[in-house]
Amino acid sequence: MISYKELGLVNTKELFAKAMKGGYAIPAYNFNNMEQLQAIITACVETRSPVILQVSSGARKYANSTLLRYMAQGAVALAKDLGYPIPIVLHLDHGDSFELCKSCVETGFSSVMIDGSHLPYEENIALTKKVVDFAHQYDVTVEGELGVLAGIEDEVSAEKSHYTKPEEVEDFVAKTGVDSLAISIGTSHGATKFKPEQCTRTPDGVLIPPPLRFDILEEIEKKLPGFPIVLHGSSSVPIEYVRMINQYGGNIKDAVGIPEEQLRRAARSAVCKINIDSDGRLAMTAMIRKVLAEKPSEFDPRKYLGPARDALKELYKHKNIHVLGSANQA
């Protein structure tokens, strides 16, 4: 058993309590490799923001779970080296089984998500409670989910979204004992969050998505006063990066994300954790494509991964300061 406490990590409890009081959200950024991790940590140290490092089961397969854990431990040391030891959470994103969550609890994760959102209600409760009962023995916090996001839920494809039913949330939280709840109010995973026919289009071709269902969020807040809510699928899909990718040989069609002002509004509410992965993928891919297109003889990975890392860092700083409001909260 490796406790996250030995690694210098923290769980989400205190961070969410402060975020709730302060009207901001903690960034939850996914990482799979060194450059992403460096960008997240330097951005969060420079903006004095707490951070949740998210690892999906796909990331564990890609990078190796042991290596990722050492990288998270390294992130704690890096923040100290940079002169400002921010609180860092190591979180399992979209855990799909008790066994996976247990393995993460036993190998240094400070927080896990058990995603039973695709299961029948009672089965979601039973699975989530089993994970909570195990994780809480080790002071590891647990995120559950009610409602299904449109788009790709990790490896589970959700064709249509099903908004969270406010009448279920109190019962779910009481029966499972979860520390936070991910809800579905119109966000969606990936870079193509909505079909073009669901959006309006500006004269220069930019898609404007339908607004988030803040009415559902407000009803949920009334049922669960002061309880931490999580938003998945919250990338804004910056048009400049989509255009850069397409300009340099890529082909991303109908990309559309969640507008920043809606995320800012959510962050001021009971939403304490906002998940962002796709935006980092877009920024990185755009910069790599640009450098390789402009310098075709370049073959030193540092020469294209370095600029990609710089772009990522700026993206995360922007989010902490202008979208989530987590800057200066560490």
Instruction: List, by residue number, the catalytic residues.
Output: 93
Q: Give CA separation, 47 vs 44, 61, 250, in Å.
A: 5, 31, 32
Cβ of residue 140: shortest distance to ligand 13P, in angstroms?
Answer: 18
What's the CA gap between 277 and 170, in Å, rounded?
Answer: 29
For residues 117 and 18, the answer to whether their CB atoms sit within 8 Å is no
Q: If contact means CB under 5 to 8 A according to the sort of partner, which of ligand G3H, Zn ion, ligand 13P, none does residue 234 touch?
A: ligand 13P
- Choosing from 108, 190, 209, 228, the residue that interacts with ligand 13P (CB under 6 A) is 190
As a residue count, the chain comes to 330
Phi/psi for 7 (5° steps) reads -90, -5
Residue 150 DSSP class = B
Cβ of residue 153: shortest distance to ligand G3H, in angstroms?
Answer: 7
Complete DSSP assignment for 114-155 = E--TTS-HHHHHHHHHHHHHHHHTTT-EEEEEESB-BEEETT
- Choosing from 189, 193, 313, 319, the residue that interacts with ligand G3H (CB under 6 A) is 189
Q: Examine residue 117 and tell whether it contacts ligand 13P (CB under 6 A).
A: no
Span from 17-25, 55-63, 124-132, 204-212 in contact with ligand G3H (CB under 6 A): 55-63
Pairing of strands 207-208, 200-201: antiparallel
What's the CA gap between 103 and 98, in Å, rounded?
Answer: 9
Query: Of the two residues 276 and 291, which places its CB atom closer to ligand 13P in the complex?
Result: 276
Cβ of residue 26: shortest distance to ligand 13P, in angstroms?
Answer: 14
Residues 12-31 that bind ligand G3H (CB under 6 A): 30
What's the CA gap between 37 and 30, in Å, rounded?
Answer: 9
Q: Examine residue 110 and tell whether it contacts ligand 13P (CB under 6 A).
A: no
- Binding residues with ligand 13P: total (CB under 6 A): 14
Query: Of the two residues 94 and 317, which places its CB atom closer to ligand G3H in the complex?
Result: 94
For residues 202 and 196, the answer to whether their CB atoms sit within 8 Å is no
- Provide the binding-site residues for ligand G3H, judged by CB under 6 A: 30, 56, 58-59, 93-94, 154, 189, 277
- Provide the binding-site residues for ligand 13P, judged by CB under 6 A: 30, 93-94, 189-190, 232-235, 275-279
